[in-house]
Amino acid sequence: MSPALFDDLETPSALVDIDRMVANLDRMAAYAAAHDLALRPHVKTHKTPELALEQLRRGAAGLTCATALEAEVMAEVAGDLLVAYPPVDPRRIERLLALEAGVRLTVGLDSPEALRDLARAAARAGRTVGVLVELDAGMRRVGVPDPDAAVALAREAATSPGVEYRGIMFYPGHIRDRVEMQDAALAALSDRLGLFLDALGRAGLAPRVVSGGSTPAGWASHRIEGMTEIRPGTYIFNDRTTAAVGACAWDDCAYSVLATVVSTAVPGQAVVDAGAKALAREEIRGVDAPGLGALLDRPDVVLKTMSEEHGILDLSGTTWKPRVGERVRIVPNHVCVSVNLHDTLWGVRGEDVVTSWDVAARGH
Amino acid sequence: MSPALFDDLETPSALVDIDRMVANLDRMAAYAAAHDLALRPHVKTHKTPELALEQLRRGAAGLTCATALEAEVMAEVAGDLLVAYPPVDPRRIERLLALEAGVRLTVGLDSPEALRDLARAAARAGRTVGVLVELDAGMRRVGVPDPDAAVALAREAATSPGVEYRGIMFYPGHIRDRVEMQDAALAALSDRLGLFLDALGRAGLAPRVVSGGSTPAGWASHRIEGMTEIRPGTYIFNDRTTAAVGACAWDDCAYSVLATVVSTAVPGQAVVDAGAKALAREEIRGVDAPGLGALLDRPDVVLKTMSEEHGILDLSGTTWKPRVGERVRIVPNHVCVSVNLHDTLWGVRGEDVVTSWDVAARGH
């Protein structure tokens, strides 16, 4: 840690406001505890073992990973990992089975092919891997589409050597309304989940784990009958999308990209040195929030477009007149894909840079 | 180099078809030579010194960089670098001035602030840095907007110690039509450039270097009066956008991401393990080409959406029935932002993996 002030950092750099992050971590931990839900944070957002440790210290039951590398990196700080991603491919299975024997490993999957390959390899490795049957809760991305398929897969998991049936999981990524408009979507999700739970119960396969919850829908998990666990990721930092749907306040955004104004030559706009290779291009869907990011201290100043190394700030609605060389902090629409573009996160308090972390699980 | 076949690679992995790449390199080198244009490839696309060397071996006059890291990495293979990005910020200037003294360095800029900071630092360092005045050719991103501003900046560059006025540059990123529809845009560009050239000539500041040219517009550079140099980047690999605008054939796409089908649970689609963190999310603007990427061997099978680690293939228009575990190769819409997500490029011939390169200038 040599740099001590923003002025010492190059741009673009990824900043984490430590006090805001701590408040975000505490808030979700308190929510989960209050509703008796296991909290299993998804590490895809930060990919940083030191930050996973902060989640575990606050009572997280374990961690959620998407990639083999995330699992390998997080196995150094956590004894209980869920890989919430179909473990298809012999090389992926091999890496997961090579995790230290003390790690309690569970994977989510939605096909007999994935289950059989995993079970065979686990049995051969003398290991027992937990299985959550993933179901499609309405997002239409992955997950078995109906209760019969869930029962069939759960039964096969329950009776195959090498694996252990532990329950079900889903990802409610289709719930993109503002939080106060989510009642109908949550009721539909509850109803749909109920059909799966009934069918599994009748088959003698009642799930011990019922795992769900993105960050925006996570806060409503207590309203969904039967859930035992949530896997929010974004909540540690939040982002412009989380704020736009009302799942956090703007001042809860803990992550920003420090950038320098490099050009004001074209009237009505200012160009900063953070574009798609520092912020990532992601539009906000579901609610009306145009633009690709906004200034932390001036959320009305929006990135109207970007290219690889250029972000274009729209100055049409502000009296602010940025100078060439001035520094700004930008909150991206989607923090997870922005963090993934950086090798280092700088922990800041006010304008002091107090620590840094390697994004150790970036890449594949 | 241990892996020898696709089957040995993990997914997602970034593949480069070497024979196609070589043909792409040869074609652009021949175009530049035929029209007496200096070719200064932009390394942002590959960020890989070994591939820059292939460009230099084919007669490239030097390289174009955007970031200080790209310049540092490329200084090891090239003696002539253009940093086509405003060198604003003391730390960025410091890194550029620290490049080996033998490197002939030129920067593009569009403001007196950027020019003065650079000139002062260069003079202090006992170095002379070339300057290209960047002008806005119609894209409205960066660049001085009118000939008077160009003359003023060129004059200041010509008379400041530490810097040397070398010419002008522009980036025609606003030309997004299909190539056969670009006549009007090219004529407008030619007219606009003519105004700048006339004004600079009258002021005794006729540019020695007139540098322009993206990949799609690059092929039309001989139709723009006064150009001396082109800076295409994408042409080494091409991508779905380049093919969609007709600036290459589909079979000229040399880059793809190897991915595994991980789920077919939701009817009508297949899910692969390459999403926004392997391909990058970028829509094609300017021409009608929906979707976020397409299969190399089945360009009619399009990625209809993606999340971080999931790409969703639309199967509604194909009789192909992918199996869980099957491998596919995906051509992204925009290759530069996809390469930037990978640490390694695998060089392939057919299904043989014959070499690999580190993406050494990835990051900041």
CATH number of the domain that A133 lies in? 3.20.20.10
> B312 to chain A: which residues are within 8 Å by CB?
141
> A94 to chain B: which residues are within 8 Å by CB?
none
Shortest distance between the Cα of B281 and any Cα of chain A, in A, equals: 7
Q: Closest Cα partner for A14 from A346, A329, A352, A353?
A: A346
- Residue B174: the pLDDT is 87
Higher pLDDT, A183 or A258: A258
- Residue B177: the pLDDT is 83
Which of B91, B265, B325 is the closest to A142 by Cβ? B265
pLDDT single digits (tens) B331-357: 999 999 999 999 999 999 998 999 999
- Residue A2: the pLDDT is 55
Q: Which whole-number Å values give the CA distances from A351 to A17, A108, A189, A328, in the listed order?
A: 9, 42, 43, 12
Q: Domain check: are B206 and B314 in the same one?
A: no
Range of the domain at B62: 18-237
Q: Domain check: are B180 and B255 in the same one?
A: no
- Residue A174: the pLDDT is 87
Q: Which of residues A238, A256, A276 is at a domain's end? A: A238
Q: Which of residues B237, B271, B289 is at a domain's end? A: B237
Number of helical H runs and strand E runs in chain B: 10, 17
Residue contact B141–A266, C-beta within 8 A: yes
ipTM of this predicted structure? 0.96
Which of A66, A263, A307 is the closest to B111 by Cβ? A263
Residue contact B91–A10, C-beta within 8 A: yes
In a domain, A59, yes or no: yes
Q: Domain check: are B263 and B319 in the same one?
A: yes
Which band of pLDDT confidence, cut at 50, 70 and 90, is reported for residue B1? low
Q: Which residue has the tokens 């591939």?
A: B51
Residue contact B88–A324, C-beta within 8 A: yes
Tokens of A351: 């304008």
Q: Closest Cα partner for B340 from B31, B16, B46?
A: B46
- Residue A116: the pLDDT is 98
* Nearest residue of A to residue B150, measured between CA atoms: A265
In a domain, A363, yes or no: no
Which of A68, A173, A277 is the closest to B337 by Cβ? A277
In a domain, B364, yes or no: no
- Residue B268: the pLDDT is 95
In a domain, A279, yes or no: yes
In a domain, B252, yes or no: yes
pTM above threshold 0.95? yes
Q: Closest Cα partner for A162 from A76, A84, A96, A71?
A: A96
Q: Domain check: are B55 and B201 in the same one?
A: yes
Q: Domain check: are B231 and B288 in the same one?
A: no
Residue contact A363–B342, C-beta within 8 A: yes
Pairing of strands B269-272, B255-263: antiparallel
3-state secondary structure of B223: helix
Q: Domain check: are B279 and B156 in the same one?
A: no
* A167 vs B118: CA distance, rounded Å: 62
* A28 vs A255: CA distance, rounded Å: 17
The domain spanning residue B326 has which CATH number?
A: 2.40.37.20
Sign for the pseudo-dihedral over CA of A232, A279, A341, B274 = positive
In this prediction, residues B74-81 reach a mean pLDDT of: 98
In this prediction, residues A222-233 reach a mean pLDDT of: 95
Shortest distance between the Cα of B110 and any Cα of chain A, in A, equals: 7
In a domain, A284, yes or no: yes
* A177 vs A188: CA distance, rounded Å: 14
Q: Domain check: are A220 and A293 in the same one?
A: no
* B351 vs A100: CA distance, rounded Å: 34
For chain B, what's the residue count?
364
In a domain, B1, yes or no: no
- Residue A31: the pLDDT is 97
Runs of H (alpha helix) within B132-180: 147-159
pLDDT single digits (tens) B186-226: 999 999 999 999 999 999 999 999 999 788 788 889 999 99
Q: Domain check: are B143 and B217 in the same one?
A: yes
Which amino acid, B187? A
pLDDT single digits (tens) B83-123: 999 999 999 999 999 999 999 999 999 999 999 999 999 99
- Residue A3: the pLDDT is 54
pLDDT single digits (tens) B293-307: 999 999 999 999 999
Tokens of A316: 């049409």
- pLDDT above 70 coverage of chain B, percent: 99
- pLDDT above 70 coverage of chain A, percent: 99
Residue B3 scores a pLDDT above 60: no
Q: Domain check: are B270 and B191 in the same one?
A: no
Q: Domain check: are B230 and B274 in the same one?
A: no
pLDDT single digits (tens) B163-176: 999 999 999 888 88
Q: Domain check: are B283 and B168 in the same one?
A: no
* A108 vs B345: CA distance, rounded Å: 30
Which band of pLDDT confidence, cut at 50, 70 and 90, is reported for residue A7? confident
In a domain, A364, yes or no: no
Q: Which of residues A189, A211, A238 is at a domain's end? A: A238
- Residue B243: the pLDDT is 97
Residue B358, φ and ψ in degrees, nearest 5: -80, 135
Residue B2 scores a pLDDT above 70: no
- Residue B6: the pLDDT is 83
Q: Domain check: are B220 and B325 in the same one?
A: no
Residue A225, φ and ψ in degrees, nearest 5: -60, 130
3-state secondary structure of A109: strand
pLDDT single digits (tens) A303-323: 999 999 999 999 999 999 999
> Are A82 and A40 within 8 A, CB to CB?
yes
* B92 vs B221: CA distance, rounded Å: 31
Average pLDDT over all residues of chain A: 95
A195-205 burial, b for 16+ CB within 10 Å, e for fewer?
ebbebbeebeb
Residue contact B308–A281, C-beta within 8 A: no
| Total structural domains within chain B | 2
